Amino acid sequence: MKKVFLSALTVSSLLFVSCSDDNNNIPDNPDAEVVAPDTYKFERNGSTSVSYSGQTTRIKMAEEFISALKNDPSSTAIPTTTEAMLDGMFAHVEGNADFSNTDLNASSKSIRSKTAASRDYFFSNVVEGTAIKEKFDGWIKEQVDVVFPNWNTNAAEGVAGRIQEAGGGSNRLVNGKGLELNQAINKTLIGALMVDQMLNNYLGILVLDEGTNVADNDNQVLATDKNYTNMEHKWDEAFGYLYGTDNAENPQYNADSFLSKYVSRVEGDTDFTGISKKIYDAFKKGRQAIVVKNYTEREAQAKIIRDEVSKIIAIRAVYYLQQAKLTLATDKASAFHDLSEGFGFIESLRFTRNTSTNAPYFTTTEITGFTNKLLEGNGFWDVTNATLDEISDAIADKFDFTVAQAGS
């Protein structure tokens, strides 16, 4: 990219700004003290230097996409949503009228282009990245071809349709295995898009330190017509996959149906209270480390984010499997809903990051083994508590929490 050099006059005028201002003239110094600002607020020349609009756009696209997958389950009208319409939302092309939001239609962004597309995991592993995208394609097709036509059919073993929760509760629309495909897509997308891009792309050295990014950051060389260095921007883009629809300076969480929602859910479990602050604080301190050019500290904060966000995915996978056990014998619709969410979070384990190995906590083979066990035979219709415990134990054993802690 072209760069813009700050003038000597500009640089000299910035020597007395606060530590949360990017415009300090601190030389490259791995021992520089890093004091995070109170909030994720970083400025240069009195204007924000933070930008992650692309992440906000993709989150909004994904919201419309998952809504279109389920329509209104309380309605008896068979959905008119077509495979082409859903494919258009997933793989949007600039200018196409795929969304109700005209700004989204005008965008050159798409969900598919960033799904299973991180530099660290899929740049040299295109075959698997393509296979993951095709898995989404298959789920979309099955939802349209199998589930939608059976909208008013009573679901049964091997038969797609609707199944209602006990006591006149919610209707769940499932395939022949009892899987809610919209939930599988929603929860898998958390890993394949939000987590993968955050942990394995924008927080990765290959992206943060790409090309002349380090030298440019050291010398305050800005991206063309922008108020940030490339390194600052990449860190912000990672931040955007969690906070893109929230208030960056006072995050409330549960701001969207993806990672934000489930950080909130885990934070609400007393066994894990404080995890949202740990993630937010690491984002702030890592960004400030870039400002003061302490890249050792930047990497330390990236490690914290990877550890805690990976844990979020694992906790929710175990949580839903354990919750399903409570109603499996008495309320299959409720159990199937929990199992469908758990299924998606298990798929999302592929995108976690074990900072000891710089690889996912589970291999593709291990994850496929889990999902095959859940779906073998009649799938959720005859899955056993023993199987749910076996998978839960295997997941929790890789982390520093117990099944009891995550499952309650």
Non-local (6+) Cβ contacts of 225 within 8 A are: 4
- Sign of the dihedral through C-alpha 162, 164, 170, 174: negative
pLDDT in tens, the chain (408 residues): 333 433 333 333 333 333 445 544 444 577 789 999 999 999 999 999 999 999 999 999 999 999 999 877 778 889 999 999 999 999 999 999 999 999 999 999 999 999 999 999 999 999 999 999 999 999 999 999 999 999 999 999 999 999 999 999 999 999 999 999 999 999 999 999 999 999 999 999 999 999 999 999 999 999 999 999 999 999 999 999 999 999 999 999 999 999 999 999 999 999 999 999 999 999 999 999 999 999 999 999 999 999 999 999 999 999 999 999 999 999 999 999 999 999 999 999 999 999 999 999 999 999 999 999 999 999 999 999 999 999 999 999 999 999 999 999
Asked if residue 20 is part of any domain, the answer here is no
Asked if residue 82 is part of any domain, the answer here is no
For residue 146, report the phi and psi dihedrals to the nearest 5 degrees: -115, -50
Asked if residue 330 is part of any domain, the answer here is yes
Domain enclosing residue 234, as ranges:
152-408
Q: How far apart are CA 1 and CA 74, in angstroms?
A: 51
Asked if residue 247 is part of any domain, the answer here is yes
Asked if residue 113 is part of any domain, the answer here is no
For residue 287, report the phi and psi dihedrals to the nearest 5 degrees: -65, -40
Q: Report whether 62 contacts 54 (CB < 8 A).
A: no
Asked if residue 326 is part of any domain, the answer here is yes
Helices (H), 160-274: 181-189, 196-197, 205-208, 213-218, 230-243, 259-267
Number of separate domains in the chain: 1
Asked if residue 24 is part of any domain, the answer here is no
Asked if residue 3 is part of any domain, the answer here is no
pTM score? 0.93
